[in-house]
Amino acid sequence: MKSEIESAFFLCLVFMLTTGIGCTNKENQDCREYNSAAEQLLDKTITAHGGVEKFKQLKTLHYKKDFALLTEDGQIEKAFRQIHSYDYEQQVFSISSIQDGDTIVSTLKDGQYSRTKNGATEEATSARIEKSMNSAFYVLGVPFNLLDTGVELEQEENVIVDGKEYLSLSARYNADQHANHSSSEPWQFYIDKEEYLIRKNWVQSSDHFNIVENLSFEDVHGLLFHKKRKSYRVDSLKNKLFLRAEYLYYDYVASFYPQ
């Protein structure tokens, strides 16, 4: 999804985490009331991932991420390690990437994006840095960021992927009605029928499709965050073509506001 959507959801998450206002507050006009089947499914999914109340208590979060992008023939196109540090109280966020011997640090502080390379300020447009950081924020925030009422949710027919049946929740964006939605391309989340965890998600980009498998999660004081993921390029019928990317998330450290 384009950076404008990611940015909007990131701001929504920061607002939830820094003000204590969430979608369990029925007086908040931006909250869902879980009337539809899709919203009820989202409610169960959010609960399975730790619950919105626990997510709102998150004060700081630090973790590492290893990433490898693969070519169609299985060769490593690029690989790097990242260190993510998010301070929701001070609203200071940084992502340090170690790649080819260089250390690149992207930072969001006081609403301003910046980037350094080996300690020296790097010339990069704010939009480029914003897109890179917001992509990480968006992935981290699922399923909580689906609470935004600008997202059109629908429970689709169950799907069978790799021989297993999943519940299917689609999220659609309307660029004509919402200025922060840069496109109307859909996402689909495939949810375990018993645990209600998001095990896979299907993403449509401009010229291809991907299925991302959430292979395992890390329990961080009751919140479930990604641990191991794989992304496959697929055809329009969701048949796997090749492994495109691998992700490993680890060494989570979190602090929370007192209840």
More confident residue, 232 or 184: 232
Between residues 154 and 33, the one the model is more confident about? 154
pLDDT reported for residue 29? 40
- The arithmetic mean of pLDDT across residues 73-82, rounded, is 95
Would residue 136 count as lying in a domain?
Answer: no
Cβ-in-10-Å burial (0-12, 13-18, 19+) of 215 comes to middle
Domain CATH number, residue 212: 2.50.20
Q: Is the pLDDT of residue 15 over 60?
A: no
Q: Is residue 116 part of a domain?
A: no
Based on the structure, what is the number of domains in the chain?
1
Q: Is 227 inside any structural domain?
A: yes
This prediction's pTM: 0.84
Instruction: Give domain status of residue 71, yes or no.
Output: yes
User: CA-based angle 75:76:78, to the nearest 5?
Assistant: 150
**For 45-60, what is the mean pLDDT?**
95
Selection from 245, 231, 238, 247 nearest residue 163 by Cα: 238
How confident is the model at residue 25, as a pLDDT?
37
Mean model confidence pLDDT for the chain: 85
Helix ranges, 120-239 (H): 126-141
Q: Is residue 185 in a domain? A: yes
Domain presence at residue 98:
no
What pLDDT shows up at residue 24?
38
Q: Supply the pLDDT for residue 132.
A: 82
pLDDT on residue 134: 82
Name the DSSP class of 6.
H
| 186 located within any domain | yes
Instruction: Please report whether residue 134 resides in a domain.
Output: no
User: Structural domain of residue 51, as residue ranges?
Assistant: 3-24+32-77+146-256
Please report the pLDDT score of residue 137 as a whole number: 87
Rounded Cα distance, 259 and 58, in Å: 11
Q: What is the mean pLDDT of residues 37-53?
A: 95
Whether the bond into 143 is cis, omega within 30 of 0? yes
The model's pLDDT over 157-216, given as tens digits with 9 standing for 90+, comes to 999 999 999 999 999 876 566 554 445 667 899 999 999 999 999 988 778 999 999 999
